[in-house]
Amino acid sequence: MLTPSSLAFFENLDLSEVTKQIIAEYIWIGGSGCDLRSKARTLSCSMTSPKDLPKWNYDGSSTGQAQGDDSEVILYPQAIFRDPFRGGHNILVICDTYSPKGEPLPSNNRARAARIFETEEVAMEEPWFGLEQEYTLLQKDINWPLGWPVGGYPAPQGPYYCGVGANKAWGRDIVNAHYKACLYAGVKVSGINGEVMPGQWEFQVGPCVGLDAGDHLICARYILERMTEIANVVLSFEPKPIPTGEWNGAGCHTNYSTKSMRSAGGYEVIREAIEKLGLRHKEHIALYGEGNEKRLTGKHETASMDKFSWGVADRGASIRVGRETEADGKGYFEDRRPSANMDPYLVTSMIAETTLLWKPVGLKEKASA
């Protein structure tokens, strides 16, 4: 029972009895491209649309995004979710970052993605994304995976994938708490599962249209790291957390389809799209996550980083097409190349750009926006 002699009592206070004010937690991506930052402000009343929210600013010199003598970075609110930690009418706000003159910062990949998703050819095709976010939980202070013996290793991979039991599933409380918190927040989480490497888990976000995919994934990542903070466990999106030995890496497979792919005859559209991706393999791989070369070795259910391949039901390929899609003649495909620490705005917009806007050499090549 919560009493005023515990902090949880105050954290869970329902302020709507005494005030109309709400707390808005503004969230943005920091200078590394992967670190999430946030701070909160009081608003005079409940807000449901990002357009109603005020812009804000923060000290960019403390996040590697500005110089000390000109340090203001502006936050533009872009998406609202319910705050599962504060409850009530309090909100989480996904923002992107701009200079005071209104230019997106170099680390702001959302702005460019927005332009791509707004182009007519792309918008017409209603691109759907399903992002499979894998991640590893690490013990605090020693950064060794959760549940692994300190100074040693668990038994080899095999029993852990979707496993149950104290010797097979480590961290389920975090995973389940995160699942419900995301659903509460309004994040489109479609499922969770335990991964092949023990201490590694996955959740999926989607299907989301266009820019929403990035917003929902960033919000889900934020909620996850707040959960691990509560649980006293470190969250890692490192693509190859245990580089030596027979241990899987962590990816963020990106499932994709367009209206044409989902309609009759879509399978041919899918094959054309995959061909285009094959022609731009180098460009994509370069932007699919830092350190991905340690993960994409051709072993442990990955394709080798340098070679592009695709196949039906082939988990060793760069791109996998499901058996159902092949049988139905329409559906979607899975780009298995992105790593766990990828920027979802970058990856989703690149896939849309390459498959819908880019014309290979020979035809008029559209320069990207």
Partner 1 sequence: MLETAKSYAVLEEELQRLQRIGVALLGDVTDSIIAEYIWIGGSGTDMRSKARTLPGPVKSPEELPRWNYDGSSTGQAPGKDSEVILYPQAIFKDPFRRGDNILVICDCYTPQGQPIPTNKRAAAAKIFSQVEVSNEEPWYGLEQEYTLLQKEVKWPLGWPIGGYPGPQGPYYCGIGVDKAWGRDIVDAHYKACLYAGIQIGGINGEVMPGQWEFQVGPALGITAGDQLWAARYILERITEIAGVVLSLDPKPVEGDWNGAGCHTNFSTKSMRREGGFRVIKDAIEKLEKRHKAHIAAYGEGNERRLTGKHETASMNTFSWGVANRGASIRVGRDTEAEGKGYFEDRRPASNMDPYIVTSMIAETTILFQQNHPRCLSCQH
Residues that bind partner 1 (CB under 8 A): 1, 3-11, 13, 15, 18-19, 21, 23, 30, 35-42, 57-59, 61-64, 68-72, 85-86, 100, 140-141, 222, 225-226, 228-229, 231-235
* Residue whose structure tokens are 């182009």: 119
Q: How many CA atoms lie within 13 A of 203 on its CB side?
A: 26
CB of 192 to partner 1, least distance (A): 20
- What b/e readout covers 165-190, taking b as 16+ CB neighbours within 10 angstroms? eeebbbbeebbebbbebbeebbbbbe
CB of 239 to partner 1, least distance (A): 18
CB of 222 to partner 1, least distance (A): 7
Q: Would you say 13 or 123 has its CB closer to partner 1?
A: 13
CB of 243 to partner 1, least distance (A): 20
The number of helix segments (H) and strand segments (E) in the chain equals 10, 13
Angle between helical axes of 172-185 and 212-231 (0-180°, round to 10): 140
CB of 92 to partner 1, least distance (A): 12
Q: Would you say 36 or 312 has its CB closer to partner 1?
A: 36
Q: Helix %, strand %, coil % for the chain, to 5?
A: 30, 25, 45
How does strand 91-98 pair with strand 22-29?
parallel
* Residue whose structure tokens are 């039901």: 313
Q: Would you say 37 or 336 has its CB closer to partner 1?
A: 37
Distance between CA atoms of 339 and 363, rounded to whole angstroms? 31
Nearest to 75, CA basis, from 121, 40, 27: 27
CB of 297 to partner 1, least distance (A): 28
CB of 135 to partner 1, least distance (A): 12
Q: Would you say 26 or 267 has its CB closer to partner 1?
A: 26
Q: Would you say 56 or 161 has its CB closer to partner 1?
A: 56
Q: Would you say 31 or 127 has its CB closer to partner 1?
A: 31
- Find how far residue 208's CA is from the centre of its chain: 12
State which H helix or E strand residue 356 sits in: none
* Residue whose structure tokens are 């039906």: 312
Q: Would you say 18 or 286 has its CB closer to partner 1?
A: 18
